[in-house]
Structure 1
């Protein structure tokens, strides 16, 4: 059996394979509520054989959303529609995760395909349009684009509120039946903003030294781990590098990941970037070296991501020790059945991941003697 399709265990969670769907914002919610779009969008990945499907960033408060059309988990009423999705993912053999997020100064941004709709009051109501002043570590906007508003710098009461919002969202995620939660500390959002000197110019205990800049993310992790069930894994997604010489660096991420591990984090999802001016060459597997750096340096399981497309690439990542799991986002959008196709490519004519209602594919493939990965 290939490594990609070998089972894996994180605490009490048993995964059928190591293929993961990374969180992808759909900007299709209203007032934070999941709907039929989310069910169908996510359900097809479970049908397609992935081991773990992680739902998109869910705002832990209304103002934590990237846009007014993001998912939310700030009120109990959000639980039931999310639970419906979790139940379906489970029915198809996939584990369910959700990303708990706060966008910080990158919040309250537009949904571009609603530009015409929200020109009228009726259209704003239909879209669920809202606009607000975001918060951040410092009163500095992400960049000069008018889509980004200058944030209000969080005071201690605001910081305490952020921590408690993550805790409350984690408790709701447990009630919804999720197998894991992923704390979003990447891509230039709030926790990443505190980590990076590019966004954090504070002079108190949350700014200045690396130790101080790590304080809030680590406090969030400690607080969430304290309420998240001991038999369920906790994930954290980080930007391993800001991709700027004056920003957060891979060696900083190794130190951070060591601290995350010490606080009960079970795997680090390794991405990069999120700040204005960051430069990286986005080619196949371009972020995989970040995963290997963190895995080797911190001794913690990692999820590798970054334009991974073929089964052979995914298998090589695992075989080379560059990651323990392989995540797809755009590749999964392009082919929701990527995992079942990859199983054929790596392990021969093996159709065990296909759900029973789709098993006719096997007879078609055998008739056509087609057992290679769909190009």
Structure 2
């Protein structure tokens, strides 16, 4: 069988293949009212289509642990029980298709309170359901973003507790994998990088201090998440800065720490924390970062970033550069990518009975 379509077991959760869906915000939840932050028919159809298409693991879009942790007013959340019930029908459907449901828990920090991307993604104020963003330091992301309110130590502790509470709700909602979002310039990434973290207390300065908040979140999530189910951590392996940012050397060092704190897989991406940087994109451009973590640590990894072709994905896994591939835009274009690729490579995925004529 194709390596890409062999199962992968993490703790006691078995994912049927190595074709996974990366979190991609849909900005389609209600922005106000009792269903704020709850998934709706769009999300059921969106995730359901990729499950019927054979995707082994689907990690839902960034799901905020608090209202002010959303990237936009239209993001999903897991801060109340109404949201839990709405997620249940999605996880039930994914499981019924043989797909493992995962959720990415997130806090946007200084990059919060923005408009939907197809409307420009600019920061918004209270008149458009926006709010004042929070951050490790009073340093704006760029010239158009507001200066965030610096978090107090007490408020940091509250956010750690919010991650734990969201993880409890995620389990109740039927998720089998939880991912802590520490990438793309959102709050945890902001603490990790000296580019955005200018604190002088126990949460800033040294590597140990800058990683403290992330590890506190991981410990809090791991404590409430079932021992037999995996916890992932998404990281930006580099800020793509020549000086004064988070580096791939930091990522390798941090991967050892994350493994010691109970993380089961590192989901390796890059960038998002520094505005105006040049990123040399191209097919599989982030795969070398995942490959280095896998080569230098004992932590399984997933790779993401312009992975679009069957042979390309197969090679990444077969060569041991990553344990799985995370697909994004390609799955937006083609929800049945996994099933079609399995046919091309001689692998197998579950085909729903109503689709038997497609085999």
Q: TM-score, normalised by structure 1?
A: 0.90
Corresponding residue for residue 313 of structure 2: 314
SS at match of 2:5: coil
Q: How does 1:280-295 map to 2 (within 5 A)?
A: 280-295=279-294
2:21 and 2:331 in contact (8 A); partners too:
yes
Residues of 2 paired with 1:353 and 1:361: CA distance? 12
SS at match of 1:49: coil
Q: 2:166 aligns with which of 155, 166, 169?
A: 169
Residues of 1 paired with 2:297 and 2:241: CA distance? 22
Residue 224 of structure 1: how far off its partner (Å): 0.6
Q: How does 1:6-85 map to 2 (within 5 A)?
A: 6-30=6-30, 31-85=36-90
What is the aligned length?
A: 348
Q: 1:189 aligns with which of 186, 207, 214?
A: 186
Residue 16 of structure 1: how far off its partner (Å): 0.9
Corresponding residue for residue 267 of structure 1: 265
Pair 1:136 & 2:141 matched: no
SS at match of 2:165: helix
Pair 1:91 & 2:96 matched: yes
Any unmatched runs of 5+ in structure 1?
363-375
Residue 98 of structure 1: how far off its partner (Å): 0.4
Residue 355 of structure 1: how far off its partner (Å): 1.4
Q: 1:108 aligns with which of 88, 100, 113?
A: 113
Residue 40 of structure 1: how far off its partner (Å): 0.3
Pair 1:157 & 2:154 matched: yes
Residues of 2 paired with 1:353 and 1:26: CA distance? 26
The structure showing larger relative contact order (alpha-carbon pairs under 8 Å, at least 6 residues apart) is 2
Residue 114 of structure 1: how far off its partner (Å): 5.8
1:244 and 1:277 in contact (8 A); partners too:
no
Q: 1:228 aligns with which of 218, 221, 225?
A: 225
SS at match of 1:315: helix
Any unmatched runs of 5+ in structure 2?
31-35
Which deviations, in whole Å up to 9, do the C-alpha atoms of 1:258-303 show, x marking residues without a partner? 0000011000000000021332211100000010111112221001
Residues of 2 paired with 1:72 and 1:280: CA distance? 30
Residue 112 of structure 1: how far off its partner (Å): 5.0
Residue 32 of structure 1: how far off its partner (Å): 0.6
Residue 245 of structure 1: how far off its partner (Å): 1.4
Residue 202 of structure 1: how far off its partner (Å): 0.4
2:97 and 2:350 in contact (8 A); partners too:
no
Residue 353 of structure 1: how far off its partner (Å): 2.6
CA RMSD of aligned residues (A): 1.5
